[in-house]
Amino acid sequence: MPQLDGILERITFQSESDGYTVARLRPTGKRCTVTIVGKLLGVRPGEHLILEGEWRNHPTHGRQFSVQTYRSRLPATIDGIRRYLGSGLIKGVGPAMAKRITETFGKYTLDVLDREPERLSEVPGLGRKKAALIAEAWRVQQRIKDLMLLLQDFGLPTGVAVRIYKHYGDDALSIVQHEPYRLADEVDGVGFRTVDTIAAGLGIARDDPRRIAAGLRYALGQASNAGHCYLPRLELIERAAALLTVSQAQVVTMLDTLLANNLLWRDTVVTATDPDLQPIYLPPLAFAEIGVANAIRRFLVQRTALAERYASSRWEKVFAHL
């Protein structure tokens, strides 16, 4: 596959939803720039990119390099570092502030940000409070970038990494690497299919208990999206086994564990002659049904002054008149 490497000069367009980017790259050893297009998650002007893809001729925009995969290196030159920091990467650092920072630390600027951020207060006109804010913004940005680099191989958009980091903070990368199925339950907009892709890429086995547990919850969630509050036990087992491509026996083992720990809920009031028909709920939907039933029961048993007032009314005549 053809390769291209160089310095990212400017970004013409970048989608926040999927990371699709149109940009100009100056190839190594060249003075001219070329157009590159593709899902370049979180890249910034001044970065050194190593790209793999293919050259294409767009009918309107001409020759472009369509990126399939890429690796990013932080800029090594002072000018590249200045442009990188001033690209809007860090909140509170524009082109002017980036220039002052690089003039102070030169080629060691990124090392200072990584290892000695307290030295930012040495920058002329930069107070300790603002320096601390910039240092924290840099730290957060680098953590998000690490997460993006992990997720980019799975074709996931920039927004997913940002949502995951906002939810877990500094623990985000560790949770994605070691407990990815937590994301499906805890992070808005990150569903089972996405998490399953991440887990497969990390080498988590198909029959991993965490995967089966998440698959059971996903099957019930899909049923609720179709308007069902629960699934009969056997139907849930069959759906989950087909979804996960594991045996029904493995699903049954995990289902019993989830029920025993109240992570799923079964209806013990309505007894079915066939255990396979026993209703299995996600807990919030079970509690909602119980709440509705209790409210109806209260209405039925509650006596009101209004009911006593009209108890002697001749309702057959009233209805006939209507």
What CATH code is carried by the domain that includes residue 55? 2.40.50.140
Give the chain's domain count.
Answer: 2
> In whole angstroms, what is the distance from residue 177 CA to residue 109 CA?
30
> In whole angstroms, what is the distance from residue 102 CA to residue 117 CA?
13
The domain boundary, picked from 39, 73, 107, lies at 73
Q: DSSP for 140-158, please give it.
A: HHHHHHHHHHHHHTTT--H
* Total residues belonging to the chain: 322
User: In this predicted structure, what is the pLDDT of residue 315?
Assistant: 76
Is 54 inside a domain boundary?
yes
Which two structure tokens, joined as six digits, stand for 297?
A: 């029961």
Give the count of beta carbons closer than 10 Å to the beta carbon of residue 105.
20
Is 225 inside a domain boundary?
no
Q: Which tens digit of pLDDT belongs to each residue from 24-35? A: 999 988 889 999
Give whole-number Cα distances, 170 to 124, 136, 165, 176, 195, in Å. Answer: 31, 12, 7, 11, 19
Pair 34, 27: CB distance under 8 Å: yes
User: In this predicted structure, what is the pLDDT of residue 155?
Assistant: 67
Exposure string for 73-86, b = 16+ CB within 10 A, e = fewer = eebeebebbbbbbb
User: Residue for token digits 């951020």?
Assistant: 117
What CATH code is carried by the domain that includes residue 135? 1.10.150
Give whole-number Cα distances, 122 to 76, 118, 131, in Å. Answer: 22, 9, 9
Q: Residue 131 is part of which domain span?
A: 75-152
Closest residue by Cα to residue 73 from 144, 7, 157, 139: 7
User: In this predicted structure, what is the pLDDT of residue 270?
Assistant: 63
The domain boundary, picked from 45, 73, 101, lies at 73
> In whole angstroms, what is the distance from residue 138 CA to residue 310 CA?
72
Pair 84, 75: CB distance under 8 Å: yes
- 68 lies in the same domain as 100: no
User: In this predicted structure, what is the pLDDT of residue 158?
Assistant: 63
Pair 156, 193: CB distance under 8 Å: no
- 115 lies in the same domain as 60: no
Q: What does pTM read for this prediction?
A: 0.63
> In whole angstroms, what is the distance from residue 138 CA to residue 151 CA?
20
- 92 lies in the same domain as 128: yes
Give the count of beta carbons closer than 10 Å to the beta carbon of residue 181.
24
Bridge partners, residue 4, by sequence: 51
User: In this predicted structure, what is the pLDDT of residue 306?
Assistant: 66
The helix/strand/coil state of 61 is coil
Residue 40 neighbours by CB under 8 Å, 6+ apart: 14, 19, 21, 23, 49, 67, 70
Is 223 inside a domain boundary?
no
Where the chain has pLDDT below 70, the residues are 17-18, 155, 157-159, 269-272, 303-308, 311
Is 308 inside a domain boundary?
no
